[in-house]
A and B are shown apart, each in its own frame.
Chain A
């Protein structure tokens, strides 16, 4: 989780004025649904992800969502690691405060920042194609485990240091769930496709390489890709009035 500071602007002061949940922890960013702190937990570098109450939501709804997502995130991270998919180690889960203590992968970089830096340096189209293929491969493995991520973006994929090795790691499993349905996996890819192409304009070729590798690597890809095509049509051709 370390280094994933692109998911939000660096936070100088906690806008809500809340103290960290444990002494010695430092707020590193406020993502969309949680605050991330960095510090030591039992002597190890740790990232703590706190799903703080969202005051815009009805308290009952908020508690239901935060609790479910904390539990689901811990479960899916374990499931990934059991299946040999790289993901941070879960050290501890606090179900009362809805926070998870995770391995801090020092020096990691989000795929989003990596793609942007490669594009800016003007080189590295071939390394980006290789990266896209690696993403396709890891997603194929994840879907073959019947794990649906639910929030795939290039901010939710990290590269372990040294980043040139393109060793991918998946994070942010709060919206994940278990499903065997091609529909759910197709939507997972659709969500990524939109996030990918809107974040990184003119990268259609990269995404195509990703899907090609996904199709080749996954044992269950044929119905999933068929569903992806269907879901795309729903988004594009839906009549839009008003």
Chain B
């Protein structure tokens, strides 16, 4: 019955979670929120994580009712992500692992999302849509790798939404995507935007430049409301995502879809994906914001799988990397 603690801090969330055999014992988290119109910078984000990582760690242990000696392994995000926040959290993970005399596990952030999604939803072998601020990938498992069938060829969908939010000065609290989603519910008019699907790949940068270009002009001319723009952007981006997921499902013959990553808690995206799945006799699996958005338990869960299959990360290999593709990881825990 191994118990694994997971440290996550690759972007603007810092989370520490504890998992025992598929059971999440605790999963506290803090988010670094920037003023409207601004994104989060690596240095400031790292400073935020540094200031609260020990509080979050204490919360995680107390909530789980565990002492350091009860933990069997310490998992941390090795990458991908922003350098400074990754380093900050890795240092803490390395330190406690040595203090407590426990093995380290360097986890790929994307694999963490997939394993958490599989655990929470019970999906067996799903086609995974992984959508967040920095990632947009359609992934399916085969022969010990999570293989990337489709992805963005420029920016991530969450990045497109975040940057659009900055154009309209939409609040970053609790997240720009959440506020766009609420505004989109009041949108009526579909503004025509570019739609760029290339096989199982997508491109968002053209849509962003286009909407940045026309937004203020259309708004001041009274041709549409900010809500209409949010609505049109969501409808267009999400239609593209559902389309490439369906393409990958058709190509691999898969009958399960799983949405993970921060954008995955958008209910309109889940609704659209659900309709697509129903129309082709497949099942949709999705999770809510506790597990979709970056958290510590997902790193603990992927670490638990690695630990169970005999993997550990030596101290000298416990460095972090900003670029770490999902398909670089050898998945030793699945057949």
Contact = CB atoms under 8 A, between A and B. Distances in A.
Contacts of B250: 7-8, 30-32, 155
B198 A150 contact: yes
Interface string B127-162: 000001111000010110101111101101010000
5 tightest CB-CB pairs across the interface, nearest first? A241-B134, A242-B134, A242-B133, A191-B199, A240-B80
Given A32-B250, A56-B275, A57-B239, 9 more contacts: A56-B272, A58-B235, A155-B251, A198-B148, A198-B149, A201-B143, A242-B11, A242-B81, A242-B132
A61 interface: yes
Contacts of A153: 199-200, 251
A194 B322 contact: no
Chain B residues touching A, majority SS: mixed
A240 B134 contact: yes
Interface in A58-76: 58, 60-61, 64-65
A199 B251 contact: yes
B197 A175 contact: yes
Interface residues of B, number: 61
Contacts, number: 151
B91 interface: no
B175 to A, nearest CB: 11
Contacts of A175: 197-199
A194 B149 contact: yes
B261 A242 contact: yes
B83 to A, nearest CB: 9
A192 B198 CA distance: 10
B203 to A, nearest CB: 9
A178 to B, nearest CB: 15
Contact of A56 (B80, B198, B239, B249): B239
Quick one: which of A195, A198, A202, A241 has the most chain B CB within 10 A?
A: A241
B273 interface: yes
B150 to A, nearest CB: 7
Contacts of B262: 242
B232 to A, nearest CB: 9
Interface in B247-287: 247, 249-253, 255, 261-262, 271-273, 275-276, 278-281
Nearest to A187: B198
A191 B201 contact: yes
